[in-house]
Amino acid sequence: MIRDPELLNQLVDTISRFVRERLIPNEVRLAEEDAVPPELLQEMKEMGLFGLSIPEEYGGLGLTMEEEALVAIEIGKTSPAFRSVFGTNNGIGAQGILIDGTPEQKAQYVPRLATGELLSSFCLTEPDSGSDAASLRTTAVRDGDHYVLNGTKRYITNGPEADLFTVMARTDPSNKGAGGISAFIVEGDTPGLKRGPSDDKMGQKGAHTCDIIFEDCRVPAENIIGGKEGQGFKTAMKVLDRGRLHISAVCVGVAERLVEESLNYAIDRKQFGVRLADHQLIQAMLADSKTEAYAGRTMVLDAAQRKDAGEKVSTLASCCKLFCAEMVGRVADRAVQVHGGAGYMAEYAVERFYRDVRLFRIYEGTTQIQQLVIARDMVREVS
């Protein structure tokens, strides 16, 4: 549901130019330094990238889901770590507060999330509970006008730098399911909140994760999202549709970048006296990748339009996440194959993307979780 096509086109063109002229030329620097260059971070804030999906009343751009998807596709055409730094502010770091937070919580935190003054993070996964999020063990015990949090969260995006954490913790020990979980807003300098060392990952250098440890961490009772217990897991589930569609759009952008890299290499490179692009087996790989990227784009934009129209799109969001995350992995694999030996070398972007895209099949719900969600929704609808 694009409200002003002309303004949106200007925004997409601006971001596309920013990606081409500022981010892509700094991809190697990002990987080597394992950090987003400070000047680029500042430019992202000035462009409003930290507030893409945050309503205008809180200082954001207030994009619809379709508009956000189109922007995310453009952002996906560079190293995923660039997007990761502001992604949580637009997604799970802010949406929970926006959807279920009290007016006071929204006023206190959301405007600063929109400008990038605060960097947010989302704490759900634990050492013994990943996909089975309802089995988390982190506890929050009421003590006067505070809750005392104890537990460890794992693989937390932006964990080393975040100023604000949305933390899922069990407030009702007698309820072992999702109903016993509450969501808390925890500021990064709260005593008792400790950060583990940055994780050494396969890919996505510059996007940092670490353990977040809570040891008798006292959080004001007023910081429980929505002002009441037992709503945390429901809050987490409410933000998943938008998050999964956003990640799917990013996968499409990466796939389109890889198609471009593969095509350009195949045109420039010769084997047996002719261009690689003129060999039919190379053409088959290029054609398959182009087709799958187009299919992913079409799926994401259709689901986004339906969400903007008020339809329930949980099943479609999982379909998009399942297809696009797997699709970009296949496209990356073909890109390396088209490049041949060069594709295995660090000097070519496809080698880095091959490692980077592997994560898309894991976070925001693994491929296997998406399969379960889709099938169970199908059965539930018929039953």
179: tokens are: 């109903």
> Tokens in use for 13?
């063109």
CA distance 313 to 300: 11
Query: H or E segment at 156?
Result: strand 146-157
The active-site residue out of 229, 292, 351, 364 is: 364
Contact 130, 190 (CB under 8 A): no
Q: Which of 80, 69, 212, 83 is nearest to 149 (CA)?
A: 212
Cβ burial of 40 (10 Å; 0-12, 13-18, 19+) is: middle
Query: 314 Cβ partners below 8 Å, 6+ apart?
Result: 240, 241, 373, 377
Give the rounded distance of the alpha carbon of 197 from its chain centre: 21
Are 87 and 246 contacting, i.e. CB atoms less than 8 angstroms apart? yes
Residue recorded with tokens 């694009």: 2
Beta-strand pair 274-275/209-220: unpaired
- Closest residue by Cα to residue 242 from 47, 378, 103, 88: 88
- Alpha-carbon separation of residue 255 from 56, 269, 278, 312, 359 (angstroms): 31, 21, 22, 27, 14
For residue 56, indicate whether it is catalytic: no
Helix, coil or strand: residue 218: strand
In terms of Cβ atoms closer than 10 Å to its own Cβ (0-12, 13-18, 19+), residue 62 is middle
Please give the DSSP secondary-structure letter assigned to residue 64: -
CB proximity list for 72: less than 8 A, separation 6 or greater: 83, 246, 249, 250, 253
Q: At 278, which amino acid appears?
A: D
Asked whether the beta carbons of 210 and 154 are under 8 A apart, the reply is no
Active site residues: 364
